[in-house]
Amino acid sequence: MNHLKLAGRMDGSRTVIRVGELRIGQDLTIIAGPCSVESEEQTLTIARAVKRAGAGLLRGGAFKPRTSPYSFQGLGLEGLKILAKARTETGLPVITEVLDTRDVGWVSEYVDILQVGARNMQNFSLLKEIGKVGKPVMLKRGMFATYAEWLNCAEYILDAGNPDVILCERGIRTFEPWTRNTLDLSAVPAMKELSHLPVFVDPTHGTGRVELIQPMAMAAVAVGADGLMVEVHHDPEHAMSDGPQALLPEQFDSLMADVNRLKDALNGTIHENDVHAGKEIALEGSEKGRVREYAW
C-alpha cells in the first residue's frame, strides 16, 4: 500500500504558503495573466489590467507544452525577463511553467512559483528536481490522473524536500467534446479531505469556453477553492496560444467583482464549514512539518 506520508491529511492543520504578502491556503488568491508571454507590451498591458482588478499573482508561460511542435513554444529566457519586469512594475509575484529538468534551477531564480503542467504531472524526474528548489510549486492535475496519482505526485515533490506544494484542478478528459475538459469540482473538497495542501481551480483550461469561466470560478470558490487561475488577454484574437479561452480584461473585472461578492457572502458561514475548518487554525511555517501517515 502506498502511504501519503507527507501529502496526506493529518491533524486538521493546513499548509499556508507565503509569497510576498500573500498567504496561499489562507486567503483566496487569484492568479491571472496570459497563456503565453508574447512580448513586453502584451505582458505589461495584461499585468496592469489584472493588478487593477485585484489579482494577487501574474501568470504567463515562457515554455509552452504545445500539442504540435509547430505551434508557438514560448519565448524562454526572454519571456522570463519580461515576467520579471512585469513583477517590478506591478509588484505582482509571478508564476510560470517549467517543462524540463535542466531548466528548473535557473528558471526558479526568475519566478516566485513554479508550475508543473498537466502534461508533466507524472514526470517524476521533473518532480524530484523541483523538490530540491526553494520555491513553491503549483502541481496541475494530469488530464487522466486519479486523485491518488495526483497526490502521489505531490508526495514526490514533498519527499524531495519542497514543502510548498499547491494543487490545481484543471479538468480531466471525458467523452464530452463541447468543453475542452470536464472541470472536476469534486476534486476541491476531496483534496481538502485527503490533504492539507492548498487547492486551486483553473476554470480556463478546465472548460476552454469563455462563457463558462465565470460561473465555474464562482462554483470553485463556493466549494472551497483556495484560489483560481484564469487566463486573460487584451487581444485574444491575436494571442499566440489559447486565445479563444482568454477573458478580456473587462470580463476579468466582472469575474473579480462577482468572486469578491461571493467571498463576502460566504464569509459568515465559511468558518463553520468543515471544508474550510483548517483556515480558522491556518498555521504558518512552524506547523507545516506536522504530518501523520495517511494510508491510501
By CB under 5 A, name the binding residues for Mn ion.
35, 242
Q: At what angle do helices 249-270 and 40-53 cross, to 10 degrees?
A: 40
Reading the block at residue 16, the C-alpha cell is 499556508
- Which residues, numbered 42-81, are part of the site for ligand PEP (CB under 6 A)? 61, 65
Reading the block at residue 159, the C-alpha cell is 519527499
Chosen from ligand PEP, Mn ion, none, partner binding at 118 (C-beta under 5 to 8 Å by type): ligand PEP
Q: By C-beta, is 90 or 120 nearer to ligand PEP?
A: 120
Give Cα separations from 252 to 209, 229, 232, 271 (angstroms). Answer: 14, 11, 7, 27
State the minimum distance, in angstroms, from the CB of residue 62 to ligand PEP: 10
Contact residue for ligand PEP among 82, 118, 256, 291 (CB under 6 A): 118
State the minimum distance, in angstroms, from the CB of residue 122 to ligand PEP: 12
Site membership for ligand PEP, residue 135 (CB under 6 A) = no
33 contacts 204 by C-beta, under 8 angstroms:
no
261 contacts 28 by C-beta, under 8 angstroms:
no
State the minimum distance, in angstroms, from the CB of residue 274 to ligand PEP: 28
Contact residue for ligand PEP among 23, 87, 135, 140 (CB under 6 A): 140
Q: Site map for ligand PEP, 231-270, x if CB under 6 A?
A: ----------------------------------------
Contact residue for ligand PEP among 74, 117, 249, 278 (CB under 6 A): 117
Site membership for ligand PEP, residue 35 (CB under 6 A) = yes
* Strands of the sheet with 22-24, listed across from one edge: 22-24, 15-19, 283-284
Site membership for ligand PEP, residue 103 (CB under 6 A) = no
252 contacts 49 by C-beta, under 8 angstroms:
yes
Site membership for ligand PEP, residue 180 (CB under 6 A) = no
Scan for cell 467534446, then name that residue: 177
Site membership for ligand PEP, residue 82 (CB under 6 A) = no
Residues paired with 16 in a beta bridge: 284
CA–CA separation, 146 vs 162, rounded Å?
A: 22
CA–CA separation, 184 vs 191, rounded Å?
A: 11
Scan for cell 470536464, then name that residue: 182
Gyration radius (Cα) of the chain, Å: 18
46 contacts 38 by C-beta, under 8 angstroms:
no
Q: By C-beta, is 170 or 233 nearer to ligand PEP?
A: 170
Contact residue for ligand PEP among 6, 90, 97, 112 (CB under 6 A): 97
Site membership for ligand PEP, residue 170 (CB under 6 A) = yes
Site membership for ligand PEP, residue 38 (CB under 6 A) = no
- Which residues, numbered 196-225, are part of the site for ligand PEP (CB under 6 A)? 202, 205
> Nearest-CB residue to ligand PEP?
117
Number of other CB atoms surrounding residue 51 within 10 Å: 19
Distance of CA 211 to the CA centre of its chain: 20
State the minimum distance, in angstroms, from the CB of residue 170 to ligand PEP: 4
Residues paired with 140 in a beta bridge: 168
Q: Given the rule CB under 6 A, which residues bind ligand PEP? A: 35, 61, 65, 97, 117-119, 140, 170, 202, 205
